[in-house]
Structure 1
Amino acid sequence: MNAITKLEGKTCKYIGIAFSEHEALGKYNDQTSSPLFSVLPRELRDLIWALATAPYEDPNAKFEKTAYYYRPGHTARLRTEVALLLTCRRVWLEANALPMLQAEQSFYYFRGAPDGRDPEWMARLTKHNSQNLGELHLLIQMGTMEKLADPTWSLRDYFLKNRPVRGDLQPRVFRLTIRHTDWWSWENDAPLRLQDNWVKALLDAPELRSTPILKLDLETLDYKADQLAVIVDRIKMIESESRPSHYVGNSPTMTRFELVDKQDTSTWEGPTNIDDRVRHAYDGKATLTYHVVTLTWNLRFTELPHASVPGLRRASVSLSPDKDPFAVDKDWGRAEGELRFWYAAILPRRREPRMTEWTEGMKQHHFMLRFWTQVRWVSRRQAELGEAVRRRQFEELCGAAREREWAARWEAEKSLLKFIGHRVP
């Protein structure tokens, strides 16, 4: 446990960093003696920062060409250099968001690359990194993707397993790729088949209503291009529903995904021994030529077609407490449920046929004994909860004093650290 985590535990507050020049005003050197800041305009500096922090394929971490995950853009581990951010505070304040904004975070279901992400990695992202999530890339088998058509499944379930938090999944670009080895029965060279309902669910996913661009890659072999063309034409006919998701002024407005007219088509070549295994379906072929079709949708306002979606406020969803996925469970509710269970388990016994007066008296005695035992348990549990609440209030009072002490210290030291919100114990 580091010092920051310990201090968060004592103050009951999260600790963050001032990420903008406006927040950190007076806490950094303007670097006016450097022509990089005094001569070059901010637009050119942003281009320099972007080039210096752009992701690239590490030449020292190449993937095997026969691996399932080997394809253009994924021939080696993706790497991002962040040494630039350590030069000075002025550079850090201007460029700290760029590594996440430009990075591609790839999730594999299944047969993933060594640099693939997982829900545990996603859950560890800070609020700042979640807000600057660039491209979220999902490479997934057809059977697993079809789960999205199930009403009990959501797009969020592929990336996060913890309790939903507003804003924890809002990438700038969401890309979904169905590779040649992700189609049904690809090993037997079976004809291509794709269900439309999961594509419809993807276009209507509420998790993507803060994502400006949605891309769908469909990859197959060149001699199946005609089969893929039929599927692509069918997907183009699927329309996104209009849903209220953003505020324009003080009123919620409708958004929907609109298909870009021009589709992108590309090809690439790979070996026939996928996963170092000989496939009889490829006998006589020296290489495999892959055919890839990419469909792109842009998020648009239904009534304001030329408006830009990014940067606007999300519409808040009003739900009753029993249906709100963000509501916190109450211990008292669980205790009350257990008490109802005892009532249901014991009361029916009183309706059994009367045998003898003594037997009936014993039954009533056992019933009252169990009933009052449960009542005492509920009372004790309620007292424990009350004690926990009082202890928590005391800790918050002590934490508030520590918070003021450390805030004054950081202000005197011109530190970029700050307390950013209440921490749930």
Structure 2
Amino acid sequence: MDESILTAPSINLRSNINLQQQSPLFSVLPAEIRSLIFTCALTDYEDITQDAFGRDTYWYRPGYQAKRRTATELLRTCKRVFQETWFLPFALAEHCFFLTQENRAPSKHVTVERMKEYLTTLREFARNQDGMDIPHIQSIRVFAQLWALEDSRRLQEVLDLEGFQPKNITITLRYTDFWYWEHDRPMHIDAKWVNTVRFPSSVSTISMDFEMIDRRKNEVDFITDLATQRWFFRRADGMAFRASKEDITTTRWTGSSTFNKSRWIRDESRPNEIDYYVKTVVWKPAPGFTPFASAGGDRCPNLDIPAGFAREQPPYMREFTHISVDDLETYNIPYDAPAQEVQEAMMRIARERQAAIVRRRRGSLSQHV
């Protein structure tokens, strides 16, 4: 959401408006065509010319390579245009929330408190226009580390914002959002939040992105199959949501292997690059569906990789799974060196260090003999 639209204009949409009949936009084009034009003009987009995200950040990914912006200049052309479009920047924007540690989100992003202020401003403006309501929004996206998502109160706080009526909700779990990804642990997602969170009655689809490195795609396939079969979401009005395998989509993308100034050679597909595998599961309303009528109980299970599951092991799991960028520079290791060369260089340096320590100890002992 573009923060430049957070100030309510002092305008009454019902008074002193020139109908602009001299303009073909209003005198010739039907309202439906005009609406399509306005929708195209006021849909938010990545503004890569300003505020581009660094490729080595946790939040850089397809569709999020820069801060998203809405070009609101159209609203300033005349009152007639403003009358027909004032709500579109809010309704069309994908509102993003980061339930993460501070260093896992862009420095400028919408917080719950900031959204509360915006909704209050928007509500006051709408009510001054003959009692209008805040329009429904198309979508929100939540980037969440699992420790934050499993504290269901945090997601519920977003969903319970007064006047917040999204139609589509996407929850994105990035590779580095999973528990103990640093240690290459099997995938695990606790279901507590699934069992306790209630989505707004306005919601028509709930999507989840499960992202993992390509080497571990079989884990994603297993987990998403489980989620499709055994996870169900519920709205505040009691409507149950279920997923179908036919709605699952698979995407791939390639990103940097450097996070927080460390190059993760263990996970590299090529020097400085990680190939990602993403499966998206979609839950839709299922009228009359009672998820637990036959199974008994009323809780969805955790998603776990079972013992004995055939996991492809990483090729570089000895002492050095990742190397700091500073160490690469200190030891004159080329930044684009293949992972195996980097590991061999670091192991050689470690052996040399150990040998130097042994020599110093022997020298110290000889002085005391």
Same fold judged by TM-score > 0.5?
yes
Alpha-carbon deviation of 1:276? Answer: 2.6
Tell me if the contact between 2:150 and 2:191 (Cα under 8 Å) persists in the aligned partners. no
Between the aligned partners of 1:211 and 1:185, the Cα distance in structure 2 is: 32
Alignment partner for residue 297 of structure 1, among 283, 293, 303?
283
2:122 maps to 1:133:
no
What is residue 165 of structure 2 aligned with on the other side? 170
| Secondary structure in structure 1 of the residue aligned to 2:212 | strand
Tell me if the contact between 1:189 and 1:281 (Cα under 8 Å) persists in the aligned partners. no
What is residue 66 of structure 1 aligned with on the other side? 56
TM-score (normalised: structure 2)? 0.65
Aligned residues: 265
Instruction: Give the direction of change, closer, same or farther, for the CA distance of 1:242–1:147 in structure 2 (3 Å limit).
Output: closer
What is residue 35 of structure 2 aligned with on the other side? 46
Instruction: Give the direction of change, closer, same or farther, for the CA distance of 1:200–1:60 in structure 2 (3 Å limit).
Output: same
Q: How does 1:56-95 map to 2 (within 5 A)?
A: 56-58=45-47, 59-95=49-85
What is residue 186 of structure 1 aligned with on the other side? 181
Tell me if the contact between 2:200 and 2:236 (Cα under 8 Å) persists in the aligned partners. no
What is residue 309 of structure 1 aligned with on the other side? none
2:196 maps to 1:201:
yes
2:219 maps to 1:232:
no
Code of the residue aligned with 1:38 in structure 2: it is S
Alignment partner for residue 118 of structure 1, among 106, 111, 115?
111
Tell me if the contact between 2:87 and 2:135 (Cα under 8 Å) persists in the aligned partners. no
Alpha-carbon deviation of 1:201? Answer: 3.4
What is residue 34 of structure 1 aligned with on the other side? 23
Instruction: Give the direction of change, closer, same or farther, for the CA distance of 1:231–1:241 in structure 2 (3 Å limit).
Output: closer
Alpha-carbon deviation of 1:243? Answer: 6.6
Between the aligned partners of 2:30 and 2:117, the Cα distance in structure 1 is: 35
Code of the residue aligned with 1:155 in structure 2: it is L
**Which structure ranks higher in relative contact order (CA pairs < 8 Å, sequence separation ≥ 6)?**
1
Which region of structure 1 is more displaced relative to structure 2, 86-95 or 282-291?
Answer: 282-291
Tell me if the contact between 2:212 and 2:278 (Cα under 8 Å) persists in the aligned partners. yes
What is residue 151 of structure 2 aligned with on the other side? 147
Alpha-carbon deviation of 1:106? Answer: 1.3
Tell me if the contact between 1:104 and 1:136 (Cα under 8 Å) persists in the aligned partners. yes
What is residue 365 of structure 2 aligned with on the other side? none
CA deviations over 1:279-330 (Å, ceiling 9, x no partner): 2523674221001111112335439xxxxxxxxxxxxxxxxxxxxxxxxxxx
What is residue 353 of structure 1 aligned with on the other side? none
What is residue 312 of structure 1 aligned with on the other side? none
Between the aligned partners of 2:180 and 2:286, the Cα distance in structure 1 is: 37
Code of the residue aligned with 1:36 in structure 2: it is L
**Root-mean-square deviation over aligned CA pairs:** 2.7
Code of the residue aligned with 1:118 in structure 2: it is T
Code of the residue aligned with 1:256 in structure 2: it is A
Between the aligned partners of 1:278 and 1:241, the Cα distance in structure 2 is: 38
| Secondary structure in structure 1 of the residue aligned to 2:247 | coil
Tell me if the contact between 1:217 and 1:295 (Cα under 8 Å) persists in the aligned partners. yes
Code of the residue aligned with 2:218 in structure 1: it is D
Between the aligned partners of 1:47 and 1:295, the Cα distance in structure 2 is: 29
Between the aligned partners of 2:242 and 2:205, the Cα distance in structure 1 is: 10
Between the aligned partners of 2:113 and 2:90, the Cα distance in structure 1 is: 17
Instruction: Give the direction of change, closer, same or farther, for the CA distance of 1:242–1:155 in structure 2 (3 Å limit).
Output: closer
Alignment partner for residue 255 of structure 1, among 218, 231, 239?
239
Instruction: Give the direction of change, closer, same or farther, for the CA distance of 1:299–1:88 in structure 2 (3 Å limit).
Output: farther
Tell me if the contact between 1:77 and 1:114 (Cα under 8 Å) persists in the aligned partners. no
Between the aligned partners of 1:198 and 1:178, the Cα distance in structure 2 is: 14
Q: How does 1:96-107 map to 2 (within 5 A)?
A: 96-107=86-97
What is residue 360 of structure 1 aligned with on the other side? none
Alpha-carbon deviation of 1:175? Answer: 1.2
Alpha-carbon deviation of 1:154? Answer: 6.2
Code of the residue aligned with 2:117 in structure 1: it is R
Between the aligned partners of 2:233 and 2:109, the Cα distance in structure 1 is: 32
Instruction: Give the direction of change, closer, same or farther, for the CA distance of 1:299–1:66 in structure 2 (3 Å limit).
Output: same
What is residue 264 of structure 1 aligned with on the other side? 249
Code of the residue aligned with 1:263 in structure 2: it is I
> Percent identity between the aligned chains?
28
CA deviations over 1:90-111 (Å, ceiling 9, x no partner): 1111111111111122111131
Tell me if the contact between 1:209 and 1:299 (Cα under 8 Å) persists in the aligned partners. no
Instruction: Give the direction of change, closer, same or farther, for the CA distance of 1:79–1:274 in structure 2 (3 Å limit).
Output: same
Alignment partner for residue 220 of structure 1, among 194, 212, 216?
212
Which region of structure 1 is more displaced relative to structure 2, 227-236 or 278-287?
Answer: 278-287
Task: Give the structure with higher Rg (CA).
Answer: 1
Which one has the bigger helix percentage?
1
Q: How does 1:271-350 map to 2 (within 5 A)?
A: 271-282=256-267, 285-286=270-271, 287-299=273-285, 301-302=287-288
CA deviations over 1:148-188 (Å, ceiling 9, x no partner): 2xxxx36332x38xxx77x4332222111110000011112
Tell me if the contact between 1:78 and 1:115 (Cα under 8 Å) persists in the aligned partners. no
Alpha-carbon deviation of 1:73? Answer: 0.8
Which region of structure 1 is more displaced relative to structure 2, 275-284 or 290-299?
Answer: 275-284
Alpha-carbon deviation of 1:142? Answer: 0.8
